[in-house]
Each structure stands twice: as structure tokens, then as C-alpha cells.
């Protein structure tokens, strides 16, 4: 077992798959066992992801040459077999997924997983889809992993049931099914023209295309781009997002914070592979930049108009997606590193925020009613709260309100990008990179980007403080009861952001190194297809 | 054959998109199914249309690739059919849940207000 390291890249897919399958067997009542399996699998995923991150960043020895690890499934060589590719960006996204997944899982174990059946297996399958989408080096496998994560997310968005969730879930499923069909058309078209589904070989075969073949290929690439933009929640394809995220149960919405980033990741990956003269939109040109700006604008309007914290959080996710799209669409590659920093910070922040708002809003009558209905429907109500359906189970933390207030302020600072937390560091890095970009990039673009970033931050701050005042300073609301298992993940995510802001320097240099290795396209092709490039 | 094939794909996709835009959940699921059929045919067509050629290598015919049709799109179609089948079943369940909870089959969960 001297070369155990070479099998690490497949573990993030295998672990949740096996854990999810095993979780189907013990009955719903054996909570201790099920929780132990789910927690163990997620912890292991986090461990594997961190080891992969250390390996791709060159801190430990690697079994492969260079920074990029390639795992051939069944040991079939690259263009014929299916490969998993792990580079810095993949490892970073894996770590982020596992971190957020662990937090959401711990939170849901407190009581949310009892709101319906098969929560834990679906959760593991969602993690499997996410990990697979970040790892795969094959276009069709990307589709399959997208389907795995979407199928799990369909189940999770309906978790807890109720008319609101079913309505939002219906729209969410219909939109995403259609997007999946477009993905199939795009994959088939690209295969029909280039004769390959391997992403590295695709990058090689695209360059010599010309004439009719080129236009057909561009058509396929555009369809692919539309699919990724739907997933990323870009305007005008994002109207399903706030309703679905707002209606989902808190831990599900928390893990969904990373779902839009899968689309962003895929866009970025293909933009690098297809770069060069004549790259099709949205992977090349200014198109993505303006799409990102429009997304920021609609998200900001939604943030200003939101009357409920859940919807506000959904619109904040749209704003962060828009910021990322605009940053990746910006001319040049200097913004990629800061944008990755922003991605990590905003995913952690919005994940914590989705879980936090459920805790602050649980003394509101409507949410309690909805919960009571779903708990009744499944006959899973606890003995403790049968007398007082409005009061939740759990030891009252004496300083519950203080904790909630502090966490809310931290999330508000993170999401609107104010000092001293990592949201500020990320936005500052983005702004300084954008301001330093002209002469290479048009000054107009830099100005628009800076204005959009600042205005969206201001709108977020206004809306968050307005709703925060209403929630925290109203006299008639009772202090909500919290459990340690619900407070701890939120606190953990916020502490991670604090750590990220303390270590801004090393973090930013890591993200810049990630961006550099990502934009060095030939390295990716060389690693997957050794000896193919002249 | 190409004309018939593309007409079939086009008619299926066209009627599917029309049904998708209708307000009743049953029409939406029929639309999704029709578009899925069109997409499956399209993937199949991307392997180029060949008559009488098998995708599996036959020892009697030899190993010349020109004698065989491209097996990859057929494998893709199989995967797509399985995934489409599962998601359609799931969508049916959601559709029935929506009908049961709201008492209407409108996609918005309520009848539009009549002026």
C-alpha cells in the first residue's frame, strides 16, 4: 500500500456514494447509528479534501508529476477511459464542499433530518454529485454528476413538504430538467463535431475547427454556457432561485449556497479550456461580464425589496453569483484569484446566514406552523414539544439572543463586504485588481465593476440592517431556544471566515497561485494526455 | 432518411416546447417527455445515421471501424434515457403532491384570478 495516495482523487466520489447507500438500510428510528455513519463519511471527505489540497499545493509528496493529479478509472488511458482530474481549484472546491457539508449536516442532525424520510442518504448523494462535478475531466460525466446532485437536491428541496415547498420545488425541478436537456443537446453537438468528450482532448481539437464545423461547435458551446448560467443563477435565468432557496429547510438552503458555484466553476473551467481566438460566448469576450453586471443589478433590486430574511438571503446569493461572473468575464486574468477568495468567503458566509435566519425566525408563528404540519405528517414529533408546538426542543442557551445578534452582525459584515471580516478583504482585493487592470482592460469596464460592487454592498448593508432591526429589536418576540448542535456549525463557519480574514495574506497568495495554475491551460492538457502536445 | 429523422426531432421538440409553456402541470410533464425524446433522437443522430451497422464488434466482420457505427452516442442515449426516466417519475410525484396540497393542477398552485 505504498501508493495509496494515487487513489485519493476517487474517494470524494466513492465515500458519499457508499455512505448514502448504507444509510438506506438502517430504519429511520435508529438515529444514533445513522448520524454516526453520515458524520463519519462527511468527516472523512473533509480529511481527503484537505490532503488533496495539501498535495496539489505542493506541501506533501505526490504520486503524480507536477501539480495536477489525474486518476484514470479502471486504468484506461485518458481519451478512451474516464478520468478524474484534481488541481488546486478542484481541491479547493472539494474542501469548501466538505466544510459546508459538515456544518449543514451537524445542524440538520439537531432536528431537521426528522422532518421527512431519507434526508441523510439524499444529503450524501448531493455531496457525491458536487464532488464529482468538481473532479471530473469528462463532459458527459459532468452531466451525470450534475444530474446526481440535482436529483438529490430535488428531494432535499421538498424535504419537510408543505404547499410552499412543493410549489417552489415544482418550478425548480421543471427549470432544471429543461436545463439538463439543453446540456444533453450541447454535449451531443460537441461530440458530433469534435468526436471526443474528454475535456483536455476537446481543448486540443477545438483550435483547428473552421467554417461550418466551427459554427456548429460554437452553437453547442453556447448551449453549454446557457446551462451553466442557469445553474449559476445568472440573469435572466434566475427567477426560480430565491423562491426555491427561501422555501427549502435551513440546512438544505445552507448547502445550496454552494450549488450555484458549481455553475460558476464549470464556466470557469471551460473558459480556460476553450480560450484562444474565436472562443465562443459566454466563454470569451465581454458577454459574461455584462451578464454578471445585470445579475448584480437584479440581485441588488431584489435585496432592496426583500421583506423576508429567507428571500433576502436568496437574492444575496444571486448578487454573489453575479459578482463572480462579472469578475471572471473581466478582461485579463488578474481578477480570478481575488474572485476565488470572494467565492470561498461568500459561500461560507451565506451558508452560515441561511442557517442563522432559521434560528432567529423560529419564534415567528408562520414558520412554526409549517414545521408542525410537516412533523405531524410524518409522525415524528418529539414528546417534549407536543404541549407547545411553537416552542422548540432544546436547552435554552442563556445568551441565545447575544449569540444570534453577534452572528447576524458577522454575517451582515461578511455578505456586504465591510471590514474587518473576510468579505471586506475579498472585495478589497477585487476592487484593487479591477482598478489596476486598465490599460489592458477598458476603463469603462473597471468603472462599472467598481460601481456595481460598491452599490450592491451598500444595498446589502441597508437591507440587512433594516430586517435585522425588525427581528432583533421587536419587543413581542420571545427569545428563541437554540441547541448547541445548531449554534455550533454557524459559529464554526463564521470563525472560519475570521480565520480567513486574519490570514488574508497567505490565503490570497494561495488563491492567486490557484488562478495562475488554472489559467495555464496547457498544463491541464499535458497532465491528462501525456505526450500529446508537440 | 435524414429529412425524416430531422423532421421527427423538430416536431417532437416543437410540440414539447409548446406544451412546456402551458399552465397545467400535466401538460408540462408531457412537454418535458417530448423534448426528452427529441433530445435522445438528436444524440443518436450525432453518431451519424448508418443503416444495418452494429456498434458491437463482431469477430465475423473484423475490426475495421468503417464497418461499425459509433457506439459512444448509443451509450450516451442509454444513460440519458435512464436519467430522464427517473426524473420524470420524480416530477410526477411532485405534480401529484402539488395537486393534492393545492387542489388544482395549475403550475402556480392556484387558479389565475379571472377578470
Cα three-residue angle B5-B9-B12, rounded to 5 degrees: 135
In a domain, B91, yes or no: yes
Region for B109 from its dihedrals, namely left if φ exceeds 0, alpha if ψ lies in -120 to 50, beta otherwise? left
Torsion over CA: A212, B36, A135, A258 (sign): positive
Contact B101 A166 (CB under 8 A): yes
Q: Which residue segment(s) compose the domain that B77 sits in?
A: 2-51+65-102
A118 touches chain B (CB under 8 A): no
A69 touches chain B (CB under 8 A): no
pLDDT of residue A365: 46
How many cross-chain Cβ pairs, A to B, lie less than 8 Å apart?
Answer: 86
C-alpha closest to that of A314 among A242, A410, A401? A242
Contact B32 A151 (CB under 8 A): no
Identity of the residue in B35, B39, B91 whose CB atom sits nearest the CB atom of A173:
B91
Tell me the backbone φ, ψ of residue A85, rounded to 5 degrees: -120, 130
Tell me the backbone φ, ψ of residue A138, rounded to 5 degrees: -140, 130
What is the 8-class DSSP label of residue A396? P
3-state SS, residue A530: coil
pLDDT of residue B13: 93
- Chain B hits for A79, CB-CB cut-off 8 Å, are none
In a domain, B32, yes or no: yes
B20 touches chain A (CB under 8 A): yes
Q: What is the DSSP string of B40-103?
A: HHHHHHHT---SS--SS--TTT-S-GGGS--HHHHHHHHHHHHHHHHHHHHHHHHHHHHHHHHS
In a domain, B35, yes or no: yes
Contact between A413 and A424 under an 8 Å Cβ cutoff? The reply is yes
In this prediction, residue A533 has a pLDDT band, given cuts at 50, 70 and 90, of: low
Contact B83 A147 (CB under 8 A): yes
C-alpha closest to that of A492 among A428, A425, A403, A430? A403
pLDDT digits (tens, 9 = 90+) for A123-159: 899 999 999 999 988 888 899 999 998 888 888 888 8
Contact between A437 and A377 under an 8 Å Cβ cutoff? The reply is no
A129 touches chain B (CB under 8 A): no
In a domain, B58, yes or no: no
Tell me the backbone φ, ψ of residue A22, rounded to 5 degrees: -65, -35
For a pLDDT cut of 70, what percent of chain A falls above it? 88
- For position B31, which CATH number holds? 1.10.287
3-state SS, residue A233: coil
In a domain, B56, yes or no: no
CA dist., res. A109 & res. A119, Å (int): 10
Say yes or no to pLDDT of B84 above 90.
no
Say yes or no to pLDDT of B18 above 90.
yes
Contact between A435 and A450 under an 8 Å Cβ cutoff? The reply is yes
Question: Would you give the distance in Å from CA B96 to the centre of its chain?
Answer: 21
In a mutational test of the B interface, the residue from A139, A142, A178 whose CB has the highest number of chain B CBs within 10 Å is A178
pLDDT of residue A128: 93
Say yes or no to pLDDT of B8 above 90.
yes
- Chain A hits for B2, CB-CB cut-off 8 Å, are none
Interface of A with B in 169-228 (CB under 8 A): 169-171, 173-174, 177-178, 180-181, 184-185, 187-189, 191-192, 197
3-state SS, residue A332: coil
User: Which distant-in-sequence residues (6+ apart) come within 8 Å of A473 by Cβ?
Assistant: none
Say yes or no to pLDDT of A117 above 80.
no
3-state SS, residue A84: strand
pLDDT digits (tens, 9 = 90+) for A16-28: 999 988 888 887 7
**Interface predicted TM-score (ipTM):** 0.91
Cell readout for A487 is: 449554534
User: Which distant-in-sequence residues (6+ apart) come within 8 Å of B43 by Cβ?
Assistant: A184, A185, A187, A188, B73, B76, B77, B80
In a mutational test of the B interface, the residue from A149, A166, A189, A227 whose CB has the highest number of chain B CBs within 10 Å is A166
Q: How many domains does chain B have?
A: 1
Average pLDDT over residues B66-78: 85
pLDDT of residue A145: 92
In a domain, B109, yes or no: no
For a pLDDT cut of 90, what percent of chain A falls above it? 7
pLDDT of residue A387: 44
User: Which distant-in-sequence residues (6+ apart) come within 8 Å of A186 by Cβ?
Assistant: A220, A221, A223, A224, A227
Contact between A271 and A328 under an 8 Å Cβ cutoff? The reply is yes
Contact A166 B97 (CB under 8 A): yes
Amino acid at each position: 500500500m505504498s501508493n495509496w495516495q494515487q487513489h485519493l482523487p476517487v474517494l470524494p466520489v466513492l465515500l458519499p456514494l457508499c455512505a448514502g447507500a448504507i444509510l438506506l438500510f438502517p430504519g429511520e428510528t435508529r438515529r444514533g447509528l445513522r448520524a454516526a455513519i453520515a458524520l463519519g463519511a462527511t468527516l472523512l471527505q473533509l480529511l481527503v479534501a484537505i490532503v488533496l489540497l495539501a498535495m496539489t499545493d505542493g506541501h506533501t509528496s505526490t504520486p503524480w508529476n507536477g501539480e495536477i493529479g489525474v486518476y484514470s478509472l479502471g486504468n484506461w488511458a485518458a481519451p478512451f477511459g474516464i478520468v478524474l482530474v484534481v488541481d488546486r481549484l478542484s481541491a479547493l472546491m472539494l474542501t469548501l464542499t466538505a466544510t459546508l457539508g459538515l456544518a449543514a449536516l451537524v445542524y440538520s442532525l439537531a432536528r431537521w433530518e426528522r422532518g421527512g424520510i431519507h434526508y441523510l442518504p439524499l444529503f450524501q448523494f448531493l455531496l457525491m454529485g458536487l464532488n464529482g462535478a468538481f473532479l471530473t475531466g469528462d463532459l458527459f460525466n459532468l452531466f451525470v454528476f450534475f444530474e446526481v446532485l440535482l436529483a438529490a437536491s430535488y428531494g432535499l428541496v421538498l424535504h419537510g413538504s408543505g404547499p410552499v415547498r412543493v410549489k417552489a420545488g415544482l418550478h425548480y425541478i421543471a427549470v432544471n430538467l429543461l436545463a439538463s436537456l439543453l446540456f444533453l443537446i450541447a454535449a451531443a453537438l460537441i461530440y458530433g463535431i469534435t468526436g471526443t468528450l474528454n475535456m483536455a482532448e476537446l481543448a486540443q481539437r477545438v483550435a483547428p475547427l473552421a467554417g461550418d464545423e466551427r459554427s456548429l461547435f460554437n452553437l453547442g458551446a453556447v448551449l453549454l454556457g446557457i446551462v451553466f448560467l442557469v445553474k449559476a443563477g445568472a440573469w435572466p435565468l434566475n427567477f426560480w432561485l430565491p423562491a426555491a432557496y427561501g422555501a427549502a429547510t435551513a440546512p438544505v438552503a445552507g448547502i445550496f449556497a454552494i450549488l450555484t458555484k458549481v455553475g460558476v466553476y464549470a464556466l470557469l473551467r471551460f473558459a480556460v479550456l476553450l480560450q484562444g481566438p474565436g472562443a465562443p460566448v459566454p466563454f470569451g469576450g465581454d458577454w459574461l461580464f455584462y451578464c454578471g453586471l445585470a445579475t448584480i443589478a437584479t440581485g441588488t433590486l431584489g435585496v432592496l425589496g426583500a421583506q423576508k430574511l429567507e428571500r433576502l438571503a436568496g437574492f444575496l446569493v444571486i448578487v454573489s453569483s453575479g459578482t463572480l461572473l462579472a469578475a471572471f468575464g473581466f478582461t485579463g486574468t488578474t481578477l480570478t484569484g481575488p474572485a476565488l477568495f470572494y467565492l470561498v468567503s461568500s459561500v461560507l458566509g451565506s451558508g452560515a446566514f441561511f442557517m442563522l435566519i432559521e434560528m432567529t425566525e423560529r419564534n415567528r408563528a408562520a414558520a412554526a406552523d409549517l414545521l408542525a404540519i410537516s412533523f405531524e405528517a410524518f409522525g415524528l414529533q418529539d414528546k417534549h414539544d407536543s404541549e407547545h408546538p411553537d416552542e422548540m426542543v432544546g436547552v435554552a442557551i442563556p445568551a441565545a439572543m447575544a449569540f444570534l445578534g453577534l452572528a447576524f452582525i458577522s454575517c451582515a459584515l461578511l455578505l456586504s463586504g465591510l471590514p474587518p471580516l473576510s468579505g471586506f478583504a475579498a472585495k478589497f482585493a477585487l476592487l484593487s485588481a479591477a482598478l489596476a487592470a486598465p490599460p489592458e482592460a477598458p476603463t469603462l469596464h473597471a468603472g462599472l465593476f467598481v460601481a456595481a460592487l460598491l452599490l450592491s454592498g451598500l444595498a446589502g448593508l441597508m437591507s440587512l440592517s433594516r430586517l435585522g432591526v425588525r427581528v432583533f429589536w421587536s419587543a413581542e418576540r420571545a427569545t428563541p431556544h437554540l441547541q448547541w448542535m445548531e449554534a455550533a456549525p454557524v459559529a464554526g463557519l463564521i470563525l472560519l471566515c475570521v480565520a480567513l480574514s486574519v490570514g488574508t495574506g497567505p490565503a490570497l497568495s494561495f488563491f492567486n497561485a490557484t488562478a495562475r495554475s488554472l489559467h495555464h491551460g496547457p498544463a491541464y492538457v499535458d497532465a491528462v494526455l501525456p505526450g500529446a502536445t508537440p | 432518411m435524414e429529412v425524416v429523422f430531422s423532421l421527427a426531432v423538430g416536431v417532437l421538440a416543437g410540440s414539447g416546447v409548446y406544451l412546456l409553456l402551458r399552465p397545467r402541470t400535466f401538460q408540462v410533464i408531457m412537454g418535458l417527455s417530448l423534448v426528452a425524446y427529441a433530445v435522445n433522437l438528436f444524440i443518436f443522430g450525432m453518431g451519424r445515421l448508418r443503416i444495418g451497422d452494429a456498434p458491437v464488434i463482431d469477430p465475423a466482420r473484423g475490426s475495421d471501424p468503417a464497418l461499425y457505427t459509433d457506439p459512444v452516442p448509443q451509450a450516451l442515449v442509454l444513460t440519458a434515457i435512464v436519467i430522464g426516466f427517473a426524473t420524470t417519475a420524480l416530477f410526477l410525484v411532485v405534480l401529484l403532491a402539488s395537486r393534492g396540497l393545492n387542489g388544482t393542477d395549475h403550475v402556480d398552485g392556484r387558479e389565475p384570478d379571472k377578470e
